[in-house]
Structures are given as structure tokens and as C-alpha cells.
Structure 1
């Protein structure tokens, strides 16, 4: 290769190229044709087309591999996106279900609280009515007891004023006998 290049440079100088018969080194067309054929021969001898084709094939294979990898990544991204969207929908559905259940529970709790309040009010009303009835009964008893006490006191005064001492003593003796007869 070192020897061919200087020789090719010297043989292709314009001073050597001249017009004349075609197969003469003085003809520039013939010299250019020989240089071109030598160049093509050198390129074929060094297997440059095979190497270029191999490099192009390698590059095409690399591009094909990159495209397949990009498709795989796109498919994986679409799968992940679909999964994410599905999970988002499921989470939204769960959130909606939780909200609906909470509303239902709140309504049920409110209704239960109303029912419990009504029962409590009814119970307290009954308790208040019972206390009022009890107070009325106690007041009636007190009035009766007072009336009885007043009547006994008045009867005692009337009887004491109308009975003589001998009659009172005979009544006391009869009462003692009655009590002792009932006790024995």
C-alpha cells in the first residue's frame, strides 16, 4: 500500500496526461480510467463493500433491536397505564362505596338516635307522671292523716267533754279486757 500510493500520484499528474491514442499514458481519459479501475480493484481487494455492508447490517440490526426494545417499553408502559387506570377506578369505586356506606350508617344512626331520644323522653315522662302520682298519693295520705288526727283530736275533746270520769274508767277497763282477750 505504501508503494502504490506514490506511484499512483506520479502516474496521474497532468503533465503526463496528453491527448493522443486512447491506450497511451499520454491520454488523460485512459489515465483516469486506469486510476478508477485501480481504485475499484483496491476497494474490492480490501473487501470494503463487504465491510460496509456488514457495518450497515450491524447498524440496521442495532436500530431493529432499539425499535423492538422501544415497542416492548411502550407495551409495558401501556400495561402499567392500564393497570394504574384500573386501580384508580377500583379505588374510586371503593371510595364511593365507603361514602355511600357512611351516609347510610349516618342516617341509620340518626334514626336510631331519634328513636332512642323518643324512648328516653317517654320513659322520663312516665317517671315524671309516676312521681306526680306518688306525690299526689302522698299529699292525699298526709291530708287524710291530718284529717284523721284532727278528727281524733276533735273527737277526743268532744268525748272528754261529754264523758264523766266513771264512764271514762269503765271504757278504759273494757278496752283493756278486749285487748287482753285478743292477745291471749
Structure 2
């Protein structure tokens, strides 16, 4: 009996003890448990990935909606600004035309007033000149006669 025999006998005894203690079943159970744990982690990771994809799709949809809403708000604001700009332009043109009309009316009034003042001044000058001429050419007797004739004519017109 040499050392090889004893090594073989020790190996057989070791394998018998390992089989008796059910080490292969324990190793198989540990490996099965580890495989189940890995399978569960993979399923959970798969679920998390699906949830993440759903959230991503939802956020992308919300982002698209927000972009669309922002574009519509911007478009509405641009339209409103254009309307306000046109209204302001129209109001300014109306204001300028009213102010121009008022200025023209004031100019016409000033012209007519100036013409009336010039006419009145001319009448006053004519009266003064006529008084001076009549006063220089007519004596007091003729003046009394004319005055009485004028009074008579005035009375006849008043009646």
C-alpha cells in the first residue's frame, strides 16, 4: 500500500463525507438561490427600465405640448402686438388729422378776424377822413341844415 492508494482512499472518504453532509445539494441550493436572486434583480431592472421609458415618453410628450403651447402663446402675442401697433398708428393718424383740422380752423378764424379788423380800421379811417373833409368844406349853417335833414330822414325811416 503505497501513498497513491492512501491518497485515493482519502479522496473516496472525503467524497463520501461530502456526499453524506449533502454539500453538493447545499452548493446547488446556493447556486439556485443566487440564480433566483439574479433573475429577480433582472426582472426588477426590466420593470424599472420600462417605467423609465414610460416616464421618458411622458416627459417628451409634455415637453412637446409645452413647446407647442409656447409657440401658440408667442404667435398670439405677436398677433396682438401687431393689432396694438395698427391701433396706435390709426389713433396717431386720427390725432394728427384732428390737430391739423383744428389748426386750420384757428388759422381761418384768425384770418377772418384780421380781415374784419382791417375793414373796421378802414371804416374808422374813412369816417375820420370824411369828418375832416366835411368839417373843412362845410360851414356851421350848412352843417345845421344837413343835421336837420338827417334827423328827418331817420325819423321817417323809424316810423
Bin the TM-score by the shorter chain.
0.7 to 0.9
- Residue 90 of structure 2: aligned partner: 115
1:139 equivalent in alignment to 2:114: yes
- Residue 101 of structure 1: aligned partner: 76
Structure 1 residue 78: Cα displacement: 0.9
- Residue 127 of structure 1: aligned partner: 102
Q: Which of 45, 53, 57 is equivalent to 1:82? A: 57
Structure 1 residue 49: Cα displacement: 2.0
Where 1:44 maps in the other structure, the secondary structure is helix
Instruction: Tell me, in whole angstroms, the C-alpha distance in 2 between the residues paired with 1:83 and 1:159.
Output: 111
More helix, by proportion:
2
Q: Which of 4, 18, 22 is equivalent to 1:43? A: 18
CA deviations over 1:1-26 (Å, ceiling 9, x no partner): xxxxxxxxxxx743xx6xxxxxxxxx
Q: Which of 14, 25, 28 is equivalent to 1:53? A: 28
Question: TM (normalized to structure 1)?
Answer: 0.69
Instruction: Tell me, in whole angstroms, the C-alpha distance in 1 between the residues paired with 2:141 and 2:28.
Output: 162
CA deviations over 1:124-147 (Å, ceiling 9, x no partner): 220121011011111111111111
Structure 1 stretches lacking a partner, 5+ long:
1-11, 18-27
- Residue 48 of structure 2: aligned partner: 73
Structure 1 residue 41: Cα displacement: 2.5
Structure 1 residue 86: Cα displacement: 1.5
Question: TM (normalized to structure 2)?
Answer: 0.78
Structure 1 residue 56: Cα displacement: 1.1
Which structure's relative contact order is higher, taking Cα pairs within 8 Å and 6+ residues apart?
Answer: 1
Structure 2 stretches lacking a partner, 5+ long:
none
Instruction: Tell me, in whole angstroms, the C-alpha distance in 1 between the residues paired with 2:142 and 2:62.
Output: 111
Number of matched residues?
A: 152
Moved over 4 A (4+): 34-37, 166-170
